């Protein structure tokens, strides 16, 4: 046996010990053979076993690189998304989506933090998952997402159309991305991948969750899709993990009328009755005034007219908790639809913060139950669905509001385991609600609370 053949045997024996798929082993063998013939032939002759070690080290480097993407095999290469006709969003869909958005916000609000969620991100992650559900599990998804009046097929078409509307900004940045990461031990159904490719343009990766480095691959996808504003969603892979379903949203836009930096000055913000902090406030004249029977506020356009920033300040004597508890989807829609185009002077703090939360408890309170237990039905997702359930739903957000504009990002990781007089001034110097809304649909891309602008 020649020295080169001996080295190949050493490499082959070590590959057999690696906990990777046969396809991965085949591709690494092919790479090793190419290297032996074309790149390190002299080292083969001179170094013998040492050369085998060098090649193995090179293979491991390649194994971890994007050039040899064995960690995550892209299954969407074999699936061509079908052409989908966009729907006009019905009033029923808008209202049911707003109801979901406000209810989720109410359940996820944390009185001890600045809170921010992206209802759109959570909806899309849940909808992707719902396409793999059946029986009572599917019924719960449909009731939560569509108010029981919309079928999953209708919801898919509406979410496809909604995503098109939300991302149609021609200049500026509004990006939505979806991905499915599932264990190589699963026989995932092609129809499930096809549907999510059609309606959600979802990436789909077949992975070995037992390999070190899978968390890094997922987090790299997250960083890329959120422009590094959210750099991590997975700390470590739970040994029971069989699937991650992830949605990412990124928003960045300048104001149509920027705040003048020279008008920014320190003012007091009343965190509560006993605590005051001094922070930077931006001041401006605005021309869209909002009011309901418990709060007043304003809308401020972003540069290209597709989105607006909304801020609502509860009236004196009404706590932020009381106002949030009073909110409804219909009420939020009414306050936007009843806006008055009047002059109002606004003073609002600059702010920047991150927020993260687990959404299982809020969603259980909102009506999802089966999918979080081993009684869940996901027969449309995989060939052997017994024992598969949603074990975690992590949600992370980031926002920065300053004189130039707004930058925001959201990440949802769903894991499956086995007519009023206008006041002269509005100063947002105590906790308030804010949102980034799409002007055509009034749907909130983000909605949150500012409790303490000094907290990041």
8 A C-beta contact, residue 450 and residue 352: no
Residues 6+ apart with CB under 8 A from 63: 20, 24, 28, 70, 71
Same domain, 62 and 119: no
* Predicted TM-score of the model (pTM): 0.81
pLDDT band at residue 383 under the 50/70/90 scheme: confident
Give the pLDDT of residue 455: 80
What mean pLDDT value characterizes the chain? 85
Same domain, 51 and 154: no
Segment 355-359 shows an average pLDDT of 95
Q: What is the pLDDT of residues 81-91, one digit of tens each?
A: 788 888 899 99
pLDDT at 209 exceeding the cut of 50: yes
Tokens of 59: 């293979």
Segment 208-234 shows an average pLDDT of 91
Same domain, 159 and 306: no
pLDDT band at residue 122 under the 50/70/90 scheme: very high
Nearest Cα to Cα of residue 364 among 324, 392, 323 = 392
Give the pLDDT of residue 18: 56
| pLDDT top residue among 306 and 59 | 306
Residue 370 domain-assigned (yes or no): yes
Instruction: Lay out the sheet containing 351-358: strands in order across.
Output: 72-74, 203-207, 173-183, 243-254, 405-416, 390-401, 351-358
Same domain, 174 and 294: no
pLDDT band at residue 10 under the 50/70/90 scheme: low
Cα–Cα distance measured from residue 173 to residue 164, given in angstroms and rounded to the nearest whole number: 13
Same domain, 234 and 381: yes
Give the pLDDT of residue 289: 96
Residues 6+ apart with CB under 8 A from 129: 141, 245, 371, 390, 414, 416
Residue 408 domain-assigned (yes or no): no
Residues in the chain: 456
Nearest Cα to Cα of residue 286 among 249, 259, 305 = 259
Same domain, 370 and 324: no
pLDDT at 421 exceeding the cut of 90: no
Handedness of CA 305, 399, 426, 314 (dihedral sign): positive
Residue 101 domain-assigned (yes or no): yes
Phi then psi dihedrals of residue 40, to 5 deg: -130, 40
pLDDT at 440 exceeding the cut of 50: yes
Give the pLDDT of residue 39: 46
| pLDDT top residue among 73 and 130 | 130
Residue 114 domain-assigned (yes or no): yes
Same domain, 170 and 135: yes
Cα–Cα distance measured from residue 18 to residue 31, given in angstroms and rounded to the nearest whole number: 16
Give the pLDDT of residue 326: 96
Cα–Cα distance measured from residue 280 to residue 285, given in angstroms and rounded to the nearest whole number: 17
Pairing mode, strands 115-117 and 444-450: antiparallel
Segment 335-350 shows an average pLDDT of 95
Same domain, 329 and 277: yes
Torsion, Cα 339 341 347 353, to 10 degrees, reads 50
Lowest-pLDDT range, 104-118, 395-409, 418-432?
418-432
Same domain, 127 and 222: yes
Using CB atoms within 10 A of its CB, is residue 17 exposed (0-12), middle (13-18) or buried (19+)? Answer: exposed
In percent, the amount of the chain with pLDDT more than 90 equals 63
Lowest-pLDDT range, 32-46, 260-274, 411-425?
32-46
Between CA 164 and CA 229, with CA 450 as vertex, the angle to 5 degrees is: 50
| DSSP tag of 303 | T
pLDDT band at residue 64 under the 50/70/90 scheme: very low
8 A C-beta contact, residue 301 and residue 256: yes
Give the pLDDT of residue 389: 92
Cα–Cα distance measured from residue 87 to residue 85, given in angstroms and rounded to the nearest whole number: 7
8 A C-beta contact, residue 403 and residue 263: no
pLDDT at 277 exceeding the cut of 60: yes
Residue 455 domain-assigned (yes or no): no
Give the pLDDT of residue 150: 84
Give the pLDDT of residue 3: 54
| pLDDT top residue among 56 and 280 | 280
Domain final position from 36, 54, 70: 70
Cα–Cα distance measured from residue 326 to residue 332, given in angstroms and rounded to the nearest whole number: 10
Domain final position from 70, 91, 114: 70
Helix-helix angle 119-130:190-200, to 10 degrees: 150
Give the pLDDT of residue 14: 63
Give the pLDDT of residue 197: 93
Residue 399 domain-assigned (yes or no): no
DSSP bridge partners of 277: 269
Domain final position from 48, 70, 92: 70
Segment 79-102 shows an average pLDDT of 88
Phi then psi dihedrals of residue 348, to 5 deg: -140, 145
Same domain, 28 and 84: no
Q: What is the pLDDT of residues 167-193, one digit of tens each?
A: 976 656 899 999 999 998 888 899 999
Same domain, 152 and 296: no
Cα–Cα distance measured from residue 201 to residue 280, given in angstroms and rounded to the nearest whole number: 41
Residue 222 domain-assigned (yes or no): yes
Segment 385-409 shows an average pLDDT of 94
Question: How many structural domains comprise the chain?
Answer: 3
Segment 359-380 shows an average pLDDT of 92
Lowest-pLDDT range, 80-89, 275-284, 439-448?
80-89
Segment 312-329 shows an average pLDDT of 96
Residue at token pair 């090793």: 32
Give the pLDDT of residue 335: 96
The residue segments making up the domain with residue 108 are 78-250+356-392
Same domain, 378 and 229: yes
Lowest-pLDDT range, 71-80, 113-122, 435-444?
71-80
pLDDT band at residue 327 under the 50/70/90 scheme: very high
CATH code of residue 129:
3.30.497.10
Give the pLDDT of residue 240: 87
Residue 386 domain-assigned (yes or no): yes
pLDDT band at residue 236 under the 50/70/90 scheme: confident
CATH code of residue 313:
2.30.39.10
Give the pLDDT of residue 148: 66
Cα within 13 Å of Cα(175), Cβ side: 15
């Amino acid at each position: 046996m020649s020295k080169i053949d001996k080295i190949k045997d050493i490499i082959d024996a070590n590959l057999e010990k690696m906990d990777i798929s046969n396809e991965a082993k085949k591709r690494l063998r092919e790479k090793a053979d190419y290297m032996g013939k074309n790149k390190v032939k002299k080292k083969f002759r001179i170094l013998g076993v040492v050369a085998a070690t060098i090649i193995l080290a090179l293979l491991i480097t390649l194994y971890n690189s994007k050039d040899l993407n064995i960690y995550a095999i892209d299954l969407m290469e074999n699936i061509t998304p079908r052409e989908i006709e966009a729907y006009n969003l019905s009033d029923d869909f808008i209202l049911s989506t707003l109801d979901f958005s406000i209810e989720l916000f109410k359940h996820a609000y944390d009185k001890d933090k600045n809170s921010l969620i992206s209802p759109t991100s959570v909806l899309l992650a849940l909808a992707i998952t719902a396409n793999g559900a059946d029986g009572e599990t599917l019924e719960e998804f449909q009731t939560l997402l569509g108010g029981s009046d919309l079928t999953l097929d209708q919801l898919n078409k509406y979410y496809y159309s909604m995503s098109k509307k939300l991302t149609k900004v021609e200049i500026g940045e509004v990006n939505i991305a979806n991905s499915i990461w599932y264990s190589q031990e699963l026989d995932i159904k092609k129809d499930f991948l096809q549907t999510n490719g059609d309606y959600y343009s979802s990436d789909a990766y077949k992975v070995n969750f037992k390999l070190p480095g899978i968390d890094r691959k997922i987090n790299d996808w997250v960083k890329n899709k959120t422009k590094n504003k959210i750099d991590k969603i997975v700390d470590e892979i739970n040994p029971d993990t069989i699937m991650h379903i992830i949605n990412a949203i990124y928003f960045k836009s300048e104001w149509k009328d920027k705040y003048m930096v020279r008008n920014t000055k320190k003012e007091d913000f009343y965190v509560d009755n006993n605590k005051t902090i001094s922070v930077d406030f931006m001041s401006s004249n605005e021309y869209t005034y909002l009011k309901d029977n418990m709060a007043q506020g304003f809308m401020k356009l972003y540069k290209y007219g597709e989105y607006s920033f909304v801020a609502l300040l509860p009236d004196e004597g009404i706590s932020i908790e009381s106002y949030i508890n009073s909110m409804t989807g219909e009420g939020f829609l009414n306050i936007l639809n009843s806006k008055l185009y009047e002059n109002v002077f606004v003073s609002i703090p600059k702010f920047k913060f991150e927020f993260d939360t687990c959404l299982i408890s809020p969603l259980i309170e909102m009506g999802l139950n089966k999918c979080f237990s081993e009684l869940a039905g996901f027969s449309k997702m995989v060939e052997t669905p017994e024992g598969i359930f949603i074990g975690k739903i992590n949600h992370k957000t980031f926002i920065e509001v300053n004189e130039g504009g707004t930058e925001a990002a959201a990440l949802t990781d769903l894991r499956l385991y086995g007519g009023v007089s206008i006041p002269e001034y509005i100063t947002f110097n105590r906790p308030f609600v804010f949102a980034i809304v799409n002007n055509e649909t009034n749907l909130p891309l983000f909605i949150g609370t500012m409790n303490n602008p000094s907290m990041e």
